[in-house]
Structure 1
Amino acid sequence: MAPPASPLWEQRWHPLREEWVLYTAHRGGRPWIGDTHKPADADARPPSYDPTCALCPGNLRLEGRRNPDYTGVYCFTNDLPCFGGGVPSAGDAFYQTRQATGTAEVVCYSPDHGKTFVDLRDDECAAVVALWAERYRELGARADVDHVLIFENKGALVGTSNPHPHCQIYAGNMIYGHTVREVESSRRFYAKTGGGFIGQEILWRELAGPRVIGQNAHFVACVPWFARYAYEVFILPRRQLASLAELSADEQRALGLMIREVTTRYDNLWQMPMPYVMAIHQAPTDGGDYAAYPFHIEFHPPLRKPDTLKYLAGPEVGGGSMTNESDPDAKAAELRAVSGTRHYRLARETASASA
């Protein structure tokens, strides 16, 4: 049976995280006199080079390290990594501790300080994904690394400290909690269905529904039926994949273009830079069997409106379960209605030049 058009007081099962999400779409338009934020300046654009930026080519970083004059995608070891090792373990069987071994890296998408992913050319998008795949393989092969988490925090509202276009890689001996749950859910689904892949099941259902916002030969972008945030987007592969390491060159390129399309739609929604957290969900690298793991990318924008955050409050922080005050079908329609190829800023610049 098809899901209702506008969920009221409805719970939906999140098959990957194996938890319930509460939907109260009728509350999304309630009067709001709480905290708001000034919408991002639609026309503000950082300079192409900032002499104070630790990520720009040729600039000094911590402890006197200097970036080379890089011209494309550039990766380096984080000067203050969250993993490293060398600290003796302590504690007991109840208050356990262990070393945090591994490393952390920073990936600069471009030498241009003023760009974001939406500004990258086709080949630049492909180069970023190719580097991600190479770092996943190399870091994952290390004995002290069991998981490689690649993520991007974009915008001040999600805590980004530097606007230079970049993401981070955390590679250590800790398998992050969401990945642990997705490993478990994918294995249970595989056993229950006699060989089915949970990621492909989600793909097939989303392709049959109204929440797809973009697709190409290898990837599909959608607001999933079980979305936890108003404008949450998943990028799903058309074939079963467990990690970046399994992507062909064509798939790397297609993934880069799909990421650019999603982020372009985000910016075009309210004609301003959309803040988000992007996370690449892929199999751990501890040597286990993860053939059924559902590789995908998740985008979590914190905004419900241009000036209003989705606050994690009593139900989320205190209760431990998410409440989504929107209808995923409606939010997908909003994102689908705007361009995924022509950025609003380019349209404005073109109009201004011809005036």
Structure 2
Amino acid sequence: MTWEQRWHPLREEWVIVAAHRNNRPWTGETVGGGARQAPEYDPSCPLCPGNARVGGARNEAYEGVFVFDNDLPCVGPAAPGELPSPPPPYRNRPATGLARVVCYTPRHDLSLAELDTAHVADLLRTWQVQYRELGDRPEVNHVLMFENKGEVVGVSNPHPHCQIYATNFVFKTIENEAATCLRHWREHRRVLMEDVIAAERADGRRILAENDTAIAFLPYFARYAYETFVVPKQAHQSLADLSPEEVRDLAAVLHEVQIRFDNLWRMPFPYVMALHQAPTDGRRHEGFHFHIEFHPPLRKPNLLKYLAGPEIGGGSFLSDTAPEEKAAELRAVPAVHYAHAHADGGGPDA
């Protein structure tokens, strides 16, 4: 047995690692293993090509990546300018912004892992355009892009898609990360994520994929069992700053990670994926290094990582697994998707 605390430099908090706990007797709730087989096209799906959405608009007969304004946005440009003031110490303000949906493919039945790498690169280029357009708006201080995949993380529609929130505020995780990276830059004149990459490459055990300009690894300080970072090696504040070569390399690494996820248990692997990009609030944000984080909720095929006493009550994350062990599991599976193992390494075209 080992009891260890590992420092999370981006969040500036300790993670408790007690890997022996993953095999403790469990009589609590479990979740279903696989997902139901979906059709290529679902006439009732509001994200499939040509179908009507909840707001009444009809999707284009799109063939590639498709972007539209969310019909039920969490923030909006028409947020009321004046709100009734609550009594101290409470405060409020309008939640203005734009919310969009990005459909990865017209195919209802394919995840990003099952598409080909060229299609993943197309998606990255779409994200670049969206970040530039939305971030250039004076009222937008942050562009958050994320995907919720799988019923266990509460996804409302299985059609492969992600969401974009362009808001008049900076989400707290990014706000804290930007401050931490700036402080590290000012104290050491080094980019914190570049120091993390150097440490991971020196160790080597937690690296999942790597090419000339991109790398993926389970960080030393991982909180979730299969938490994974996908990072360009060169420091950029946003995805929009990457060169065409860097986009292709990042797409290849991102795609390989998702294939390894699915191959681990031969099932669609659930996760929350978030793009960590610098705020668009006009500040310089020195030291910020764009990267993509995956937070998969499962620690076994049918067992969730529950946030309970230590996390919710105490505010410190307790990891039931060791990143080195989980990385070894992912490294051991093929880099060709199990559903297309007969092919030459790529998924079906969209």
Which interval holds the TM-score relative to the shorter structure?
over 0.9
> Would you say 1:86 and 2:64 are equivalent positions?
no
The counterpart of 2:193, out of the listed 192, 199, 208, is: 199
| Match among 128, 153, 158 for residue 153 of structure 2 | 158
Q: Secondary structure at the match of 1:63?
A: coil
Contact 2:142/2:168 (<8 A) preserved: yes
Equivalent of 1:59 in 51, 54, 60: 51
Using the alignment, how far apart are the partners of 1:29 and 1:131 within structure 2? 42
**What is the one-letter code of the residue matched to 2:306?**
Y
1:317 partnered with 2:317: no
Gaps of 5+ in 1: 1-6, 351-355
The alignment covers a number of residue pairs equal to 340
Partner of 1:4: none
1: CA distance between counterparts of 2:147 and 2:339?
22
Distance in structure 1 (CA, Å) of the matches to 2:79 and 2:224: 39
Partners of 1:349 and 1:244 in 2: CA distance: 30
Aligned partner of residue 168 in structure 1, secondary structure: strand
The CA deviation at 1:45 is: 3.0
Aligned to 2:7: 13
Query: In the alignment, which of 35, 49, 52 is matched to residue 41 of structure 2?
Result: 49
Are 2:44 and 1:29 equivalent residues in the alignment?
no
| Structure 1 residue 113: Cα displacement | 0.6
Within 2, Cα distance between the matches of 1:134 and 1:92?
Answer: 42
Distance in 2, matches of 1:125 and 1:254, equals: 11
Aligned residue type for 1:52: S
Amino acid at match of 2:70: N
Distance 2:73 2:251 in 1: 26
Kindly state the Cα deviation for residue 328 of structure 1 after the two structures are TM-superposed. 0.6
Report the counterpart of residue 269 of structure 2 in structure 1: 274
Q: Is residue 256 of structure 1 aligned with residue 251 of structure 2?
A: yes
Alignment partner of 1:187 is 2:182: yes
Q: 1:109-150 CA deviation, whole Å, 9 max, x = no partner? A: 001111100122232111100000110010011121100000
Aligned AA for 1:117?
L
TM-score, normalised by the number of residues in structure 2: 0.94
Residues in 2 aligned to 1:323 and 1:86: alpha-carbon distance in whole angstroms: 39
Matched, 1:71 2:63: yes
**Distance across 2 between alignment mates of 1:164 and 1:280:** 20
SS of aligned partner of 1:106: strand
How far did residue 347 of structure 1 move? Answer: 2.6
Measure the CA separation in 1 of the matches of 2:41 and 2:21.
44
Residues 1:215 and 2:210 are matched in the alignment: yes
Name 2:280's counterpart in structure 1: 285
2:128 touches 2:240 (CA, 8 Å); kept in 1? Answer: yes
Matching residue within 231, 239, 255 for 1:236: 231
SS of structure 2 residue aligned to 1:199: helix
CA distance in 1, matches of 2:195, 2:37: 41
C-alpha displacement of 1:92: 5.4
Matched with 2:141 is 146
- Give the gaps of 5 or more residues in structure 2: 345-350
Between the two proteins, what is the percent identity of the paired residues?
50
TM-score (norm 1): 0.93
